[in-house]
Amino acid sequence: MQISRHIEALYRDESRRVLATLIRLLGDFDLAEEALQDAFTAAVTQWPKEGIPDNPRAWLVSAGRFKAIDRLRRRARFDASLEELALRFEQATEMPDLDLSVEDDRLRLIFTCCHPALSEQARVALTLREVCDLTTEEIASAFLTPTPTVAQRIVRAKAKIRDAGIPYRVPEKSELAERLDSVLQVIYLVFNEGYFPSSGDAPTRADLSGEALRLGRLLLSLLPEPEVAGLLALMLLTEARRAARTDDAGDPVLLDDQDRALWDRSLIAEGESLVERALRSRRFGPYSLQAAIAAVHAEAARPEDTDWEQIVGLYDVLLRAAPSPVIALNRAVAVAMRDGPEAGLTLIDGLLAGGGLDGYYLARAARADLCRRAGRIEEARAAYRAALAMCQQGAQRAFLEKRLAALDVESRAP
């Protein structure tokens, strides 16, 4: 009884490490997954009789490898080419130094699942499946996608890894920055889908954000690069506001209107120390800068205490590091907070005319809010309607409707 509970705990804590090593040894995701299941099945039958081995992880890797050779032998009866493969695994008898290489294996697994040769959707699904051990059903329900679609994405991604020769290794220094971008993008995408769902009616999905935070912590422990610290800080500082981000009815609450007493101070403290660490390195990038902006917000006890001068300055640096219309929009909103709504509207109207924000409802919503603050109520109403026409997400739509209705009250006030 106690052994079976021990094995369950071991599966939870070690199965991804064992899988990562088996993929390296066997060179095939599917074979490694079968081998992992075989190894744990063997543990369940053998350990109660023989006792728990001194190094359970090494035992599981070794058992998995031999079970994979058995499987290949059985299949070799139908496909002779597999015999050669089985023989090669068998002859590679020297076991790798497990404790030294095993963390590298987890990093290899992350970089392979997030390779830019795979589509973004495939990277997300494969990472959640292989690195986080979410089931295909769990991934499907988190992304409100049919299970067969997610299953298909994972199958195709594995086929591409095999057919295109995507290597199972940590990128060399010269390619690390670019490859790391692709990994960070996947983690942030998972976090954002949990924090600002793109569809459905729930305002947030804590389960996905939790996975992203776990991934971020794991990656930072394996690869302590400044931008990894920056991304983790950004996620922690955003996560810290979760309780304040929705009201009792589940509707979103804007940053200015949030009850700051609900912000999670311990997450903020952890996020702030990571931001400082990233900025001190002087090798920081867009994630660290966005985290720094979030940290400035976190420092303000009340909205009116916010240091907008510093925020605009950080957006200036961010816009140079990663030029994008969305960042320019956020900068325009910060400028409006520092210099007044008209200054922000001039910037936003320039951005909208540039066309880079077509179909982006938050640009219309930002314009609506600045028009309202500038007393241009009719323009605000038109902008909220334009935003509603572009927004599909239930909670966000309800929020926009409420702001639109509030305008009528405001315009009737003396």
Partner 1 sequence: MKYLCLVYAEEASLHSLPDSPEDDECQAYADSLAESGRMLGAEPLESVSSAVTVRVRDGKTSVTDGPFAETKEQLTGFYLVDARDLNEAIRIAEGIPPARVGSIEVRPVRELQTEKPR
Binding site for partner 1 (CB under 8 A): 115-119, 122, 156, 159-160, 163-167, 169, 171-172, 175, 178
Using DSSP, state whether 393 is helix, strand or coil.
coil
Rounded CA-CA distance 202/195 in Å is 10
Output the CA torsion sign for 57, 62, 63, 68: positive
Helix (H) or strand (E) holding 337: helix 325-339
Read out DSSP for 185-239?
A: HHHHHHHHHHHS-SSSS-S--HHHHHHHHHHHHHHHHH---HHHHHHHHHHHHHH
C-beta of 175 vs 316, nearer to partner 1 = 175
Read out DSSP for 112-128?
A: HHT-TTS-HHHHHHHII
Nearest 5°: phi and psi at 118?
-95, 150
Residue type, 264: D
Q: Tokens 């309202």 belong to which residue?
A: 372
How buried is 327 (Cβ within 10 angstroms: 0-12 exposed, 13-18 middle, 19+ buried)?
Answer: middle
Nearest 5°: phi and psi at 359?
80, 0
Number of C-beta neighbours around residue 146 at 10 A:
11
Nearest 5°: phi and psi at 276?
-60, -40
Q: How far is the CB of 163 from partner 1 (least distance, A)?
A: 4
Using DSSP, state whether 246 is helix, strand or coil.
strand
Helices 308-321 & 286-299 angle (0-180, nearest 10):
170
Number of C-beta neighbours around residue 4 at 10 A:
12
Rounded CA-CA distance 65/84 in Å is 15
Q: How far is the CB of 29 from partner 1 (least distance, A)?
A: 15
Q: How far is the CB of 173 from partner 1 (least distance, A)?
A: 13
Using DSSP, state whether 26 is helix, strand or coil.
helix
Q: How far is the CB of 136 from partner 1 (least distance, A)?
A: 20
Rounded CA-CA distance 230/217 in Å is 11
Alpha-carbon distances of 137 from 141, 142, 160, 223, 237, rounded to whole Å: 6, 9, 22, 30, 30
Q: In terms of residues, how long is the chain?
A: 414
The structure tokens listed for 287 are 């994630």
